[in-house]
Amino acid sequence: MNTVITSKDDILKNSRELIRREGWSAVNIRSVAVACGVSVGSIYNYFGSKAELVSAAVESVWHEIFHLPQEETAFSDTLSCVSWIYERMEYGSREYPGFFTLHSFSFIGQERADGKRMMDRTWEHIEKRLCSVIKQDPNVRADAFDGQFTAEKFAGVLFSLLLSALLRQDYDPYAVLEIIRRTLYERNPAYSV
């Protein structure tokens, strides 16, 4: 058995594969060492505890699922952005069954706080990116927002719908895309003031 691992990335890659095959609860120092073909001590060179390893592995999965695409067309307008997010949620659900709904409930003690912080950072990043896309979307009507109904508030509403879809495992974005079209793109004379 090797005593030196090539990198932290190799550990995380093998951890993701364990999560993919057996669920994230399969990730521990010993199982990752076996998957990497190294000694347990080699894993401890990079991670001081199981909690650190699990936290880094889960964060690695979040990054894989929501990595930025090579093409920036996914962020050219709100419809494309939301479609991309739904595609990534479906990918995550397919590649890591149960990951979205199970991992946040299974942390204990400090692991739970670390897992929640990591998940919150990921979600905050997605919501901010969504808001940025809405603000730069050339298709949004000039009068779509005002002092009460802001791009930030709309991004928050969309984000809530995305989280709801994630928990329901509903990866069809049609209704959300239609809400965007009708709210931001089309002017409905029946609702004009």
**Partners of 2 in the β-ladder:** 38
Q: What is the structure's pLDDT at 102? A: 58
Domain ranges of the chain: 8-49, 66-191
Assess contact for 16 and 60: CB atoms under 8 A.
yes
* pLDDT band, very low/low/confident/very high, at 188 (cuts 50, 70, 90): low
Q: Token pair for residue 19?
A: 């999560």
The model carries a pTM of 0.80
Q: Ranked by mean pLDDT, which of 32-46, 91-105, 111-125, 170-184 comes out on top?
A: 170-184
CATH architecture, domain defined by 8-49: Orthogonal Bundle (1.10)
Tokens 């069809």 identify what position?
172
Assess contact for 43 and 7: CB atoms under 8 A.
no
Q: Token pair for residue 175?
A: 């209704």
Mean model confidence pLDDT for the chain: 84
Task: Give the closest residue to 25 by CA, choosing from 3, 47, 50.
Answer: 50
Q: Ranked by mean pLDDT, which of 49-63, 86-100, 115-129, 134-148 comes out on top?
A: 134-148
3-state secondary structure of 2: strand
